[in-house]
Structure 1
């Protein structure tokens, strides 16, 4: 790498691999319940299949397939889905049958010491409100609100 260059290499996360036990069940969950878009469902033979899905508006996708990773099924933790309206997204997911935690916000408001209070941040500040859900295999997701005040 040229350390004297002023150009900065672009790095972007494109795909997160989720270890799942049942591709069909995971596919239905992420499309029908969470609202991801199916990008690829490729199976050239009976032993290989990869499915790629993308959340609406995201540049990062997920891939699911048993055997795609040696990580234990359900071991991925705290993948963040950033939303502009946490309350609306939480309601939408609940209506689609996803078990989503109650909303919580960090407290004290200006600290990141790990303390939380129930409900949305009172002023809907960016990065302050959260909710969680699990996929059918136990991979965990965090909904985080950002941009609400810009709506």
Structure 2
């Protein structure tokens, strides 16, 4: 049996602000549908990913900013750091660990993200 993780709800306060932020990070806007007054569904996917995020109105009961340690993986952490910085995303310095190299950022609501290169830069 295959079990595929394909969608993760991200709790946000301002849908349009979140959409603009994730577009700046590089995510593609797949859907932005207002179903009713109670439901607006926005789905966005990082380039090359089989898993998307969703946010909007009536999507999740988690408090905005409560997601911690969402992680995406890249082949080149230096390139990712440079591109995110060029796009105006506030990322920290590259953090080299024995299990990979990382940069971190938060969305406007405080949901925390890690970008990982699986192999440390010094290997």
The alignment's TM-score, normalised by the length of structure 1, stands at 0.75
Query: 1:90 and 1:43 mapped to 2: Cα distance?
Result: 34
Let me know the Cα RMSD of the aligned residues.
1.6
Once the 2 structures are TM-superposed, how far is the Cα of residue 147 of structure 1 from its aligned partner? 6.6
Q: Give 1 or 2 for the bigger CA radius of gyration.
A: 1
**Is the contact between residue 26 and residue 135 of structure 1 (CA under 8 Å) also seen in structure 2?**
yes
Partner of 2:104: 132
**Is the contact between residue 35 and residue 41 of structure 2 (CA under 8 Å) also seen in structure 1?**
no
**Is the contact between residue 40 and residue 58 of structure 2 (CA under 8 Å) also seen in structure 1?**
no
Query: 1:53 and 1:67 mapped to 2: Cα distance?
Result: 16
Give every structure 1 segment of 4 or more consecutive aligned residues whose post-TM-superposition deviation is greater than 6 Å.
Answer: none
Query: 1:93 and 1:143 mapped to 2: Cα distance?
Result: 10
Once the 2 structures are TM-superposed, how far is the Cα of residue 87 of structure 1 from its aligned partner? 0.6
Q: Unaligned 5+ residue runs, structure 1?
A: 1-8, 110-126
Query: 1:19 and 1:44 mapped to 2: Cα distance?
Result: 18
Query: Alignment length, in residue pairs?
Result: 121
Once the 2 structures are TM-superposed, how far is the Cα of residue 131 of structure 1 from its aligned partner? 1.0
CA spacing shift, 1:70–1:44, aligned 2, 3 Å: closer
Task: Output aligned runs, 1:73-88, within 5 Å.
Answer: 73-88=64-79
The alignment's TM-score, normalised by the length of structure 2, stands at 0.92
